Amino acid sequence: MLNRDSIRDGVVYNLLKNNQHITKTIPQTPEERSESLKNTLKEKPSYSTGDGVWVFGYGSLLWNPAFLYVERLRGKIYGYHRSYCIWAHLGRGSPDNPGLMLALDRGGSCCGAAYRIAPERIEEELTILWSREMALKTYKPVWVKIHTNGGPKIGITFIINRQDHRYAGRVLPNLIAKHLATAKGSLGTSLEYLEKVLISLEELDIRDPTLIDLKQRVILLQDAGSTV
pLDDT digits (tens, 9 = 90+) for 85-113: 999 999 999 999 999 999 999 999 999 99
The structure's pTM equals 0.94
Predicted confidence band at 50 (pLDDT cuts at 50, 70, 90)?
Answer: confident
Would the pLDDT of 213 be above 80?
yes
How many domains does the chain contain in total? 1
Q: What is the CATH number of the domain that holds 80?
A: 3.10.490.10
- Mean of the pLDDT values across residues 152-169? 97
Would the pLDDT of 165 be above 90?
yes
pLDDT higher for 48 or 44?
Answer: 44
Expressed as residue numbers, the domain containing 40 is 4-223
- With respect to residue 94, please indicate whether it lies within any of the assigned structural domains: yes
Looking at 120, 123, 125, 133, which residue is catalytic?
133
Has 43 been annotated as catalytic? no
- With respect to residue 102, please indicate whether it lies within any of the assigned structural domains: yes
- With respect to residue 68, please indicate whether it lies within any of the assigned structural domains: yes
Q: Are 118 and 129 in contact (CB under 8 A)?
A: no
- With respect to residue 228, please indicate whether it lies within any of the assigned structural domains: no
- Mean of the pLDDT values across residues 114-137? 97
